Amino acid sequence: MDWNRWYSLKSYLRSSLWAVPLIAVAIYAVVKPLTEMLGRWMIRQAILDPKTGFLGLSMTGGAVVPR
């Protein structure tokens, strides 16, 4: 690709308003399933308890954690 075509393509993408939302949707489409798989894995490994909350701490156990 010639330098002038490359420059014009870069300039067009930098000034366009649709490029950022399109990239954000693509990232979301990849990250959301990965985090859901991570959550299911953490529940299966007993790292995360869905009844009591994050990392299996109960409300009294969470109150003991120093701030």
Q: Is 53 helix (H, G, I), strand (E, B) or coil?
A: strand
Distance, in Å, from the CA atom of 34 to the CA atom of 19, rounded to the nearest integer, reads 23
**Of the candidates 65, 41, 62, which has an alpha carbon nearest to the alpha carbon of residue 53?**
62
Overall pTM surpassing 0.85 (yes/no): no
Cα-based distances in Å from 66 to 1, 7, 61? 59, 55, 11
Span 45-49, average pLDDT: 81
Percent of the chain with pLDDT over 70: 76
